[in-house]
Every structure is written in structure tokens, then in C-alpha cells.
Amino acid sequence: MEHVQVTSVEQLHREIVRFGHKSHLFRGQPNAYLDAHGTPTFQATFHRHGCVPLTTRKWTHYAGALIEHVSGGTIAPSLDLSSALLQHYGWRSFFLDATTEPAVAAWFASHSYAEARVATSLDQRHGGQIAAAQRVVTYARTLEAKALLYVFSADALASHGIGQVDLLERFSSLEARTRMSAQRAVLIGPLSGPLPPDAVVAQIEGPSSVLSEYAALQGPARQGELFPSRTEDPLLCAFLGLPWVKGPGGVYERSLSLPEYECPPPCPSPGEAYVARDIWVARDPPPPLANAVFLRVPELLLYANGCAEEPYWERLFDFVADCGVVVVEPAALWMDPRIADRPCYGKGLVARAIGEGLVEVGELVVEHTGTEVTGVAANAGYAYRLDEGQPSRVPSRSDCDCRSDSRHRHQVTMLSHVGGMLVRSELSRTGPLELSFRLDHGDT
């Protein structure tokens, strides 16, 4: 790694020109993080703070649905793209933030990050307030004498099999002003450990004032220029539109815990939904589902990203035929990005036997305003018949009109895991019309 000292904006500019082509990426930091040998090290946030598999599965699944929604289906979501997007908006991942724009890196090098938990209140639609808190971040010009701008080699990263997700390029069809466009964001990873030393080409060190002036001359001068508000950025709006959940001490917080950069943060409107922790439709089913058999299953089923290896479709179709209506209810709510402007959430699946060997698979939906469930419904779905042991769609005029085949494919993916639960006796009877996933197999 080359060590470069600069003392003026002109000198900094000359050094950056040396590295200012497409084979280099940039990252700015007020401080160096050193390994045991005193060498700068760069690690993904999961390596620094840990990974919670269920939470990771949950939010990467949501990010994938959001990518498909905002792109109108033109961008195929993947685990890497979903993870990189979450990292860029402030959640944890196996990726490292970088940029193609040296001025952006210079701004971050010359500004320090400070986070505070800010108390607020949520006005409920029917009156009253509940206590809440937000993570609010501000950046301030560093008082330290130095700032650090690092140069990474894209070619060296590629030689180690380390990818780079150019978010600006991947979301080029979005016309809105997003964080990724403001920051020219490229995410490096996924990483299995620190960046290889040969991928770090140079460390450019100079007074914080020099890097800050360079950033201002080239583009970003204020925090708001690099962090567009939720009214400008549809991705940020969707992430911040997710339900609130009750946290420690009864204080509500965002279910997807992201730092917020608007100062002061806007107060949540009465139209936002605030979600309680423990909701089971099985406990008080609506009249249309009064005779349905409810299967209470783990939350993880909501985020299944592949069909079961042994789906046991015949066993499952026979079970639905015997019961008439089967509701598969996971232990959590699911926000659909397409209806984020309404307090409606997915709560599982409804499988109905509709004759002639057909099973209709649709979504169980709840309306959740304030802290109460105010409505439950079973949406129309798609009908399927087994063909050589696999479900095959049978189109009809009564099909769901959402035009999202991926949404219905995911419903079939979820359902594919239920047959195995029945065959392996992982569901125990807990009521006249209720079976629950056994505690020795997971949560209920």
C-alpha cells in the first residue's frame, strides 16, 4: 500500500487524478482501524457486529421484494443485491461501503458520525399517543488534524473473487434522487474476512480541512446532499414505512432499525401502522375462516427462499382436501412493498380445496391500524393441480389480479415446506382446529 501525504487541495487533486479511473474505488474515514500488525484493515459490518440469521433472512427477503417493486420487475433481485442495498441504507451485511466518486469519500473522511436515540411519539388514528424512539445521525466536521482517503483496486478485488455491486448502475432506471445516486455507491463483497492487503492500493492522508474543501469544490458540502430525504428517495421511503414494533420498556421503534439523517427527523404521521408483537388470527378467526384448520408455524417460513427438498405435495394436497380450508399462519406479519401505503400485512397462506383435485393458494391478510387488528381477509390466489407430483397452475377468471407471478411463486415456495412438517409430525394439535409447530422443532 502506498502512503501519500497531502497538504493542499491542489496536491490532493493531483493524487486523486492518478487513481481516478474505473479500476479504482474510494472510501473515506476520519480514523484508521488497524490490525494486530498496525496495518489498516477493512471488514464488513457482520464481522464487526455479528449476524442474526433469522433477521438477515427477513430483511434480505423484503429488500428483494422491494427491488422487484420499484423496478417494475426489470431488476432481478438476488441475495447479494438485496444485502448490498440494505448495507447502503444502514443495516448490517457482509458488504463494505465504497464509492466511485473521490469527493464523496473525501466528505466522509472529513466528517465524524454521531448517533443519538431521539424520543418521539406516535399519534394513533383513533386518538392517543404511544412512546417511540428513532436513531438519528448527524455528521460534523472532524476536529482531528488528519483525514484518510483509501483507494481500492477493483482488479485486485476481482482476482480474489470479491465482487462489487454498483448500485447506481443496477438502479439506473430509477429517475428519483436516491442515496445511491448521491453517493455513487459501490458495495464491495460479500466478504468472508478483511479485505486482502493487495486490494488496498493507497492511503491518502491530509488535514481534515483540505479533504472537506476538496469535497465542497467537487460536489457534496452538506449532509443533506448525500442523504436525500424520504420524500425524494423511494427506497428510503419504503424502508422507513415498515411497521413499528414494541421494544424494550414498551417504547416503539422501527422494525428495520436504520439510522435516520434528517435533522430533526419528521414526526411519524397518524397514517402509519404500529405493530404489536404477538398476533395470531387462529385465536379469533373471522367467520369465513371459522371452520378452517390453522397451522401455526415459525416466522422463518415467511422468508423461505427455495422449495423444500422433499415437499410431499401429495400428502399436502390430500390434507387440504380432507380439511377443506387450511390456513398456514407464521408467527409474524409480512409487509408487501406494493401496498406499503396501507396498513395491510401478509399473515400467511390460505389453501382451499375447490374440487376436481384443485387447491387454491392465496394470502392471509390483516389490516393493522394503531396497535390493533381491525380486519382479516383471505385474498384470491391461484389454483393448482398436481402434475407428475408437482403443482401446476390452472388459470381461471377468479384468479388474483395482482399480476405478480413472483408473489404467487413465493406462496408455493412457502407451502412446499408444510408437507414435510406434516410427514415428520412436527405439528402437534393445540386446539380442535389448530396444529402448532412443536417447541422441540422451533418457535410457536
Angle between helices 9-19 and 208-218 (to 10 degrees): 70
313-355, pLDDT tens digit by residue? 999 999 999 999 999 999 888 887 876 666 788 899 999 999 8
**Does the pLDDT at position 151 exceed 90?**
yes
Q: What is the DSSP string of 177-211?
A: --HHHHHTEEEE---SSSPPGGGEEEEEEEEHHHH
DSSP-assigned beta bridge partners for residue 150 = 27, 203
What is the rounded CA–CA span in Å between residue 337 and residue 70? 9
Find the range with the poorest average confidence among 34-48, 100-114, 165-179, 429-443.
429-443
What local confidence, expressed as pLDDT, does residue 414 receive?
94
385-399, pLDDT tens digit by residue? 999 999 999 999 999
3-state secondary structure of 151: strand
Residues 107, 189 contacting (CB under 8 angstroms): no
244-298, pLDDT tens digit by residue? 888 888 888 888 999 999 866 666 554 455 555 568 899 999 999 999 999 999 9
Task: Give the domain ranges of the chain.
Answer: 2-110+140-237, 277-437
Chain-wide mean pLDDT for the chain? 89
3-state secondary structure of 372: strand
The pTM of this model reads 0.88
35-61, pLDDT tens digit by residue? 888 899 999 988 777 777 888 888 999
The position carrying cell 493524487 is: 15
C-alpha cell of residue 434: 389448530
What local confidence, expressed as pLDDT, does residue 278 receive?
66
